Amino acid sequence: MKTRELGRTGQQVSALGLGCMSMASDYAYGPSDEREAVATLHRALELGVTLWDTADVYGFGANEELLRQVLVPNRSRVFLATKFGFVADGQGGAMVDVRPERIAAACDASLQRLGIDTIDLYYAHRIDPAVPVEEMVGAMAALVQAGKVRFLGLSEASATSLRRAVATHPIAALQSEYSLFTRDVEAEILPACQKLGVSLVPFSPLGRGLLTNPGPQLAEKDLRRSMPRFGEEVGDANAPLVAGLHQLATEKGISTAQLALAWLLSQDEHLIPIPGTKRRKYLEENAAAVEVELSALDQQRLTELLAAHPIVGARYGEGALKLVNR
């Protein structure tokens, strides 16, 4: 597995990470399978995919506890990222709470569930307009000083919030949705990351599966049911784009997922995608994308394809979109 530097930290991490959200929660892309998830984590170690991404809200702690099984006996081989900021709302959902007074407790709880002494990369899962970024990052910086966290990150933050955060304490990474289907970050966020020396960590780099399966059958609790791109009214609107990507990938002898990931990896040398999966076969397919080289003609054809078939449907519903700091 190739590696890339995380921001300007000097820390090398796998060029492709592993999003672990779906491993221990049925609401994320269908029923979970703990046995297969654990096997996938072991396989990730074998492949050198050692940047693992989770959050305290995934399964409300269950995801971190699952990772513990493989993380603890292999601590030196894993660069572990987790997030805080969502808390249970008492109605089966979650709300944002990044008040400085609760950050230390959130970190301690994650450390206990993960069974480790230090979190490698600690993200604020969302920006709360009611909490000054400087105060939130200041409380996060105290965790670095205490030795509980090595590096800090933000998730779904605007370029303005990122600049304010960096002025308070070094930020190693900004996690945002970025894929052939979602390119909003190219306007302001990616340039800001490049200027500030912050790694952009794209989540959902395969469009939550839509890039590889335009008409997935969704389980009852699947969170994608709340996303407009997966609504029945959208129908087959995005199918021509997926078909074109599949054709280009087939001509190169690779999968559509590998094409999409190779395209992302080519956008910037400090960009580190974290495709999520809970199955070994998809992990292996994704990991192979780091070896795919796209020619100038490939890039041109992708540009033309995207221009001819604009994506239909918003990436989030109205409520979730309000939580994205722009």
Q: Report the C-alpha gap between 236 and 81 in whole angstroms.
A: 36
Region of poorest pLDDT, from 1-15, 155-169, 193-207, 231-245: 231-245
pLDDT higher than threshold 80 for residue 121:
yes
Mean pLDDT of 289-311: 94
Please tell me the CATH code under which domain 3-210+267-291 is placed. 3.20.20.100
Q: What is the pLDDT of residues 263-283, one digit of tens each?
A: 999 999 999 999 999 999 999
Of the candidates 20, 143, 165, 160, the residue with the CA atom closest to the CA atom of residue 78: 20
Collapsing DSSP to helix, strand or coil, 115 comes out as: coil
Q: Report the C-alpha gap between 202 and 193 in whole angstroms.
A: 12
Q: Within 13 Å of residue 289, how many CA atoms lie on the same side as its CB? A: 29
Alpha carbon of 21 to those of 2, 81, 167, 182, 224: distances in Å?
A: 23, 12, 30, 19, 13
Of the candidates 252, 183, 191, the residue with the CA atom closest to the CA atom of residue 211: 183
Would you place residue 224 in the very low, low, confident or very high pLDDT band (cuts 50, 70, 90)?
low
Please say if 27 is a catalytic residue: no
pLDDT higher than threshold 70 for residue 160:
yes
Q: How many residues comprise the chain? A: 326
Range picked from 88-102, 209-223, 243-257 for highest mean pLDDT: 243-257
Would you place residue 116 in the very low, low, confident or very high pLDDT band (cuts 50, 70, 90)?
very high
Of the candidates 84, 28, 75, 29, the residue with the CA atom closest to the CA atom of residue 55: 84
Q: Report the C-alpha gap between 98 and 85 in whole angstroms.
A: 5
Catalytic residue among 27, 58, 123, 178: 58
Would you place residue 54 in the very low, low, confident or very high pLDDT band (cuts 50, 70, 90)?
very high
For residue 106, with 0-12 CB atoms within 10 Å meaning exposed, 13-18 middle and 19 or more buried, which class applies?
buried
Q: What pLDDT does residue 227 have?
A: 67
Contact status, residue 81 vs residue 120, Cβ threshold 8 Å: yes
Q: What residue spans define the domains of the chain? A: 3-210+267-291
Q: Tell me what the pLDDT averaged over the chain comes to.
A: 90
pLDDT higher than threshold 60 for residue 317:
no
